[in-house]
Structures are given as structure tokens and as C-alpha cells.
Amino acid sequence: MNDKLAELRALAQEKIAKAESVQQADALRVEFLGKKGKITDMLKSMKDMAPEERKSFGQVANETKAQIEKMIAEKMSSLKAAARQAQLLSQTIDVTEPGTSIPLGTRHLITQTIDEVTRIFMSMGFSLAEGPEVETVFNNFDALNAGPNHPARDMTDTFYIDDKILLRTQTSPVQVRTLMAQKPPIAVIAPGRCFRCDTPDATHSPMFHQIEGLVVDEGITMADLKGVLDSFAKQMFGSSTKTNFRPHHFPFTEPSAEMDVSCFKCGGKGCRVCKGSGWIEILGCGLVHPNVLKVGGLDTEKYTGFAFGMGVERIAMLKYELDDIRLLYENDIRFIEQFK
């Protein structure tokens, strides 16, 4: 009988030596030591033995069991250590390896232009104002002194939602909102999106951006307008930039003007950018019409103001010599990335 135990131990030893994983070693533990295992079977067979035989067999069987337990435990711990080692090796991090580069975005040219203009005016004490893109006809036209027969109100120029609501055609309604919400002294700048029924081509887009400015206080004159806008032009286009104001007409300003800057490309000699004239038209401006000030309930004998509005796309196109406005909306990363 004791030979059988020796055989069993040899078999266990052989199998344990061959085990390659913790799972295999555990299966051997069940096979030899489990409730229905080989050793247990042998111990069960003891009940049919003579008492002396049973005693010596039991002793050897228990020793064998202990030996197999020990072999399995040792195997288990060496397999676990090896598995851990393999795991550590497979997870080694090379800290000197260069990281994956994350592509950095670029601010869109329109955003850059708005930020630049806004920064300049904020440095002169202006604060930021906002208005909705979906506006009332009143704020977009009536309150801006553009009466019922004003040509801009035409269905063919304006996206109407209904007869009282439209997509704003200009940022000028922010003037109205500001006058209704604030008391002078007022100095605000209002960038934003505008909409007009234009068929897209190289110079037109049904959606575009403007930046509006409004200053209202006691004693504001055309000299303030010229001083502020001339300073803006020098900061935006270079310190040697000259400005020229030409009379114009806008319903919400009186007098009204358009401001030209000396060409920042050729310095005024005449080139492709300024179409040979040496001057580039940049914005519309004027002294706020008393009818507009009245919308804000202001005493027009006491308060005066000036306003201006410029097209963002126009400035970006001139500055970067873009020949097609649609480049600004296609969002082709190869185009945008050129203006990092």
C-alpha cells in the first residue's frame, strides 16, 4: 500500500513540476488534495485495512499529503512571482519616449480680428455690450431712426421672422439696447453676427460680423470721435496710419462719415490692396442722432454721443489680403492654421 503512496507522490511531483500557470497548479491541488482527490480516496480506503496496517499507512498518507501540499504551495508562489514579473515587464514605461503630440487649435481669423479690435477699445475704457442675433424690427430699424420707408427694411435685404422680428442686419440695435439699459457716461463696444439676404460670392455672405461702438456723455463732439477712431486706426494698422473722414449718410447719426485709413500695405502710394487710391475704407461713424438718444429717454440738450460700426470680415480680408470671403467660413484647417 505504501508503494501506492510513493507512486502518487511521484506523480504529483511530476505534474506539479510541469504546471505552467497558477490555474494549472490550482487544478492539481483539487486533483490530489480536494474532497474527491486522489489522496482523499486513499485515506477513504483505509477503513478496510487491518489496524496495524492502517496506522502505518495513515502516517505515510498524511506525510505524503503534507509533502504534496508543500510542493503545490511552493509552485504556486513561484508561479505567482513569475506572473507578477511578466506583468511588470510588459508594463514598463519608457519615460524618455516622446509623448504623442496633441494638435493645438488656432483661433479663427474672425475671432482674432474681433479680439484685437475689442482689446484696443477696452484699453481706451470701453466695455463690452451684447445683443441677440434675433432682434425686433423696432430695435434694428425704427429706434435707429430708419423709418417705415427706409430701403434697408426691404424684404429683399432683410431676413424677417415675422413682421416684428428679424435677424439683425447690423450690430447697431445694441446701441438701442444699451441706451435703454444704461445711463451716461456710456462707452461700449459690441461685436457680433449680422445677417442680410445676399447671395454668397467672393465679397458677400448672408452671415457676417460687425463691431459696433457707442459713446454718450455730456459734451461729446466730432473731435472725440476723430480722436478715438484715429487712435484705434494707429493701434490696429500701425502707428504711421493716417485717417480721413468723408461725409456720408446713416439714419442714426448726424453728421455721418466714413473713415478711411492710409493703406497699410503701400503706405498710401497706391497698390492692389487699396486699388491704387492709397486709402482704404474701414468704418461708418457719426454723432448719434437725437432721435436715437430720445429712445433712451436722454435729454438731447445735455447729452451727445458718437457711434461707429465696422465690418469684421472686411478688415480681416484687407489685413490678410484674402480675395474670397468664403475662405472665412469653409473652416478648412489648412487655411485657418496659416494665421497662428
Nearer CB in complex with ligand DAH: 172/262: 172
Measured between alpha carbons, how far is 51 from 56 in angstroms, rounded to an integer? Answer: 9
Query: Of the listed pieces 55-63, 97-105, 106-114, 306-314, which binds ligand DAH according to CB under 6 A?
Result: 306-314
Q: What is the dihedral of CA 171, 175, 180, 186, to 10 degrees?
A: 140
Q: Considering the complex, what minimum distance in angstroms separates the CB of residue 153 from ligand DAH?
A: 13
Query: Of the listed pieces 5-13, 78-86, 113-121, 281-289, which binds ligand DAH according to CB under 6 A?
Result: 281-289
Asked whether position 191 contacts ligand DAH by CB under 6 A, the answer is no
Asked whether position 178 contacts ligand DAH by CB under 6 A, the answer is no
Q: Considering the complex, what minimum distance in angstroms separates the CB of residue 175 from ligand DAH?
A: 6
- Grid coordinates given for 296: 433712451
DSSP 8-state code for residue 142: G
Among positions 131, 191, 284, 305, the unique one binding ligand DAH when judged by CB under 6 A: 284
Q: Considering the complex, what minimum distance in angstroms separates the CB of residue 286 from ligand DAH?
A: 5
At residue 112, φ and ψ (nearest 5 deg) are -60, -45
Query: Of the listed pieces 9-17, 44-52, 127-135, 305-313, which binds ligand DAH according to CB under 6 A?
Result: 305-313
Asked whether position 250 contacts ligand DAH by CB under 6 A, the answer is yes
Contact yes or no for 269/243 (Cβ under 8 A):
no
Asked whether position 141 contacts ligand DAH by CB under 6 A, the answer is no
Nearer CB in complex with ligand DAH: 268/286: 286
Asked whether position 195 contacts ligand DAH by CB under 6 A, the answer is no
DSSP 8-state code for residue 225: H
Measured between alpha carbons, how far is 71 from 104 in angstroms, rounded to an integer? Answer: 59
Residue count at the site for ligand DAH (CB under 6 A)? 11
Q: Which residues, 6 or more positions from 268, have their beta carbon under 8 angstroms from its beta carbon?
A: 242, 262, 274, 278, 279
Measured between alpha carbons, how far is 284 from 310 in angstroms, rounded to an integer? Answer: 6
Question: Of 255, 244, 246, whose CA–CA distance to 306 is shortest?
Answer: 255
Asked whether position 184 contacts ligand DAH by CB under 6 A, the answer is no
Measured between alpha carbons, how far is 272 from 258 in angstroms, rounded to an integer? Answer: 21
Asked whether position 253 contacts ligand DAH by CB under 6 A, the answer is yes
Among positions 173, 191, 286, 305, the unique one binding ligand DAH when judged by CB under 6 A: 286
User: Which SS3 state, helix, strand or coil, does residue 335 take?
Assistant: helix
Which chain residues interact with ligand DAH by CB under 6 A? 170, 172, 212, 250, 253, 284-286, 307-309
